[in-house]
Structure 1
């Protein structure tokens, strides 16, 4: 079990290598939210006479929650495995005496913990 905790720490360290990337991701999420708010506000203002199923406040709450959840659930595991295959490092990962799926999950968990803490 200790080895998987080490892989969680590796996932955290890999994500923390470039602190400016964390800020860039945070600012891009804020920009995305602003653009979504602007688009939906314009849509609600243009359809003010019609009865809509969702009101403006509920739609904006949905946008915020969906953005937060999608940023936590974002998974780069396929890209990481693809990079390992292309570089040939997948052989090293597969011959280790640990379960490959659990190792990949542990790395992803560490990455997700950083996203929860900083984004």
Structure 2
């Protein structure tokens, strides 16, 4: 029996792939249309990165941190990689779905010849890739020139890191997409991004690595999937995980992807049964 692939992209043939790439390309180009916003975003990204690095340097100099796990150089590298991953995993799914539910256009998406999940993922990915390539990476490169960066301990660990990042991006999308689907019941989406952002900020290690958490909060974070999007991939890069541990993390990421895929299918099926729109 054929088991559907648990990845966001469900390939239905050449036409489906062509539509996915079209949405990706349009979202990518749309980001460059607002050039003033583009240049301001680059400046803001550089400023945020430098503030984060200087805060961590000050904390390490004050000896107020437990530095047995990572040194200041590794922590700066953590900041750089986390910045890239943060922008690579952004999602506008809640806002898009919320607007479609409110104006009634969601009905048209049920009959379009493209998988709705693929459409949302393609737009998010196109926008995020642009953000990373032209806004985040220039800021990170400037940061590397100023502060340096830690190099992976081996090519094998670097490959495992990249594989873990890919799975982490997919896990992040699934979580945010599933939460966005609850707009069908809530009928509004304005507070969902705040909720999602707070949860990821707390449990993923995107800003503060889980090493510095109290024991009880670390234990909670370890049983949730959020750490698999930021903390664990970066830990692999920094060499804080053995080769066996890295493979174990990737295996856990695969398991979570399957769980999230099944749950997303269930939520999507229930959402289609409960379409209440205000626009018609």
Q: TM-score, normalised by structure 2?
A: 0.38
* Equivalent runs, 1:1-119 vs 2, <5 Å: 1-47=17-63, 52-53=67-68, 54-119=70-135
1:15 deviation in Å? Answer: 2.0
Q: Which runs of 5+ in 2 are unaligned?
A: 1-16, 136-280
Higher RCO structure, 1 or 2 (CA under 8 Å, sep 6+): 1
Q: Which runs of 5+ in 1 are unaligned?
A: none
Q: Aligned pairs, how many?
A: 118
Instruction: Using the TM superposition, name which of 3-12 and 54-63 deviates more.
Output: 3-12
Q: TM-score, normalised by structure 1?
A: 0.82
1:51 deviation in Å? Answer: 6.8
How far apart are the structure 1 equivalents of 2:36 and 2:54? 27
Q: Once superposed, what is the RMSD of the aligned Cα atoms?
A: 2.1
How far apart are the structure 2 equivalents of 1:47 and 1:113? 37
Secondary structure in structure 2 of the residue aligned to 1:97 = coil
The answer as to whether partners of 2:84 and 2:132 remain within 8 angstroms in 1 is: no
Higher helix share: 1
* Off by >3 Å, runs of 4+ in structure 1: none
The answer as to whether partners of 2:23 and 2:119 remain within 8 angstroms in 1 is: yes
